[in-house]
Structure 1
């Protein structure tokens, strides 16, 4: 019997869905990788979504309708504040909605209750879910190794690092093909000469719509060696978790900014990051977190905002160039002071 397909609005315990015999597809990835991504936004706005609504939410809705999804898992706590309303519109369209929550209490017992309820909804046992988790963790180890090749050996580009980690939310709908693809990618990059860009950047915040940011910064002697949220989608600490409850307790993205910042600070130090680009989406509540981030971190942070475009606009390019020029000047100044 062919597996059924379920769409997801963000990273969730996909182990449960796979154990229940589903193919899991991240609607975000359908939207942002489409050559005609604007049509998904147009579908939502034609339906009545306001101009002031986040483009990601409109893209998710449009992808769901255009690709004729029948079942969706939506995260109603711990992600976008608009997801609940999105689910109500999808439900109106006759689409089956399965809600999931990352409890804001960030209490392990509350997380266990949420995941147990999720397992009960799909009628799968803890043991079966753990077996799937162990299988998937083998793939996550490969993604983690690719990440290490990015910042330890400088052989993986910022975009490649982004792509394989962000794809770990659903493993491109096929864990076996994804495993094969990343093994081939690892063999390819190991044969490369290391990248030589001097500035080491971190990318924090939601994954970007304008993915050309990775290639653009490389024109200015800079390279991304850290993608915060994308890395969390790949669960780099999954092997340290005793079970699925601990794994999703340790997942930083859905919880408060202080919990996220602990891991960000650790990665800044480990990866020797010179500065951060904080990407936020227009009309998103996470924009306000930039205030806390800049107050808590002791390295330069540039906040850039995206909306409907999947490429950098002229203003953002100018701001990035000025920021990277300033960083180069700081490095030269520090070298002179050291001498």
Structure 2
């Protein structure tokens, strides 16, 4: 089967309909035991120290694993993507462009998706058949999410892992579906996680995944992973077609559209505080100003770079933030 790399969530339905095995380069990068080697490949090529580690890592994965075709998102993702694609093209990688229009108008999204389908020679009917198939798998991820915030039986990391894996279904939909079915059966037998603080994680998926275990030492539990959840299209089953599905996908569009869904989830999941994760040298750091102004719960912004574990300073900030939330909860009960 032909292989194609992606660097963020794209219309995977089109790629599967075209007969591709889809590989999320970011997932390979962050799950590698020696993830640093991919960053080294990029820096030896000349990537600056001030470039995002995610971009360098995905570039290194593409080169190391000899991926010859990738989908490049030209609108709605990292501002460095275009330059990375130009370097990859220099190495003979074939780039297929896709755009999430900044206008966020349904007719513009339809035009972008139609162009993408034409590029791969597939028809809407074929794509819709794949979408229906994937909706069954995505429903299982939605079930796992419900077990996270309603039954309190799923750890924040497990919730993160299965949602973020939905970008490419670990390259094999059937195998992924079998795995999550078995996982849900195991989860349903667990006792609930009893923590006093209910946290939400917003922003891009973290390099520092140990944050999920770390907060549990301070009586806290993540019950929401914003962008990771969007990778699984939690509202996609309500969409009439693929156009509506990608119109409703919050990540690539403006911050106010994203925050409307975040606010809803804060209320539904009874969230006490938000961790807003940003990557060093990323424009999304500026969005923290809007986020703190718009949300009515406490927000802590933490920044990641090359490390895949929390540094001492971030741990201290997290501890102080969680202590403050506990104090607020005690005060409000009085």
**Same fold, TM exceeding 0.5?**
yes
Matched with 2:301 is 303
- Equivalent residue for 1:37? 35
Equivalent residue for 2:200? Answer: 202
C-alpha offsets along residues 98-117 of structure 1, whole Å, 9 cap, x if unaligned?
Answer: 01100000000100000000
Q: Which residue of 2 aligns with 1:215?
A: 213
Alpha-carbon deviation of 1:283?
A: 0.3
C-alpha distance in structure 2 between counterparts of 1:315 and 1:65, whole Å: 34
Match of 2:26 in 1: 28
Matched, 1:81 2:79: yes
In the superposition, the TM-score normalised over structure 2's length comes to: 1.00
1:286 to 278, 284, 302: 284
Query: Equivalent residue for 1:260?
Result: 258
Question: Runs of at least 4 residues of structure 1 off by over 6 A?
Answer: none
Contiguous gaps of at least 5 residues in structure 1: none
Q: Secondary structure at the match of 1:51?
A: coil
Shift of 1:332: 1.0
Match of 2:7 in 1: 9
| Gaps in structure 2 of 5+ consecutive residues | none
- Aligned-pair distance for 1:334? 1.1
Q: What CA distance in whole angstroms lies between the structure 2 residues aligned with 1:330 and 1:293?
A: 20
Match of 1:109 in 2: 107
Deviation by residue 1:205-252 (Cα, 9 ceiling, x = unmatched): 000000000000000000000000000000000110000000000000
Q: Identify which of 227, 230, 246 aligns with 1:229.
A: 227
SS of the residue aligned with 2:3?
strand
| Partner-residue secondary structure (3-state), 1:197 | coil
Normalising by the residue count of structure 1, what TM-score does the alignment of the two structures yield?
A: 0.98
| 1:247-276 deviation line (CA, Å, top 9, x unaligned) | 000000000000000000000000000000
Matched with 1:184 is: 182
How far, CA to CA, are the matches of 2:101 and 2:272 in structure 1?
A: 34
* SS, match of residue 36 in structure 1: coil
Which one of 93, 103, 125 corresponds to residue 95 of structure 1? Answer: 93
Residue of structure 2 aligned with 1:153, choices 144, 151, 154: 151
Once residues 48 and 76 of structure 1 are traced to their aligned partners in structure 2, the CA distance between those partners, rounded to angstroms, is 22
- Number of the residue aligned with 2:315: 317
Q: Partner of 1:289: helix, strand, or coil?
A: helix
SS at match of 2:234: coil
Report the Cα distance in structure 2 between the residues aligned to 1:293 and 1:317, rounded to whole angstroms: 22
Give 3-state SS (helix, strand or coil) of 1:220's partner. Answer: coil
Alpha-carbon distance, 1:154 to partner: 0.2
**What does residue 326 of structure 1 align with?**
324
- Structure 2 CA distance for aligned equivalents of residues 112 and 328 of structure 1: 47
- SS class of match (1:310): coil
Equivalent residue of 1:106, what SS?
Answer: coil
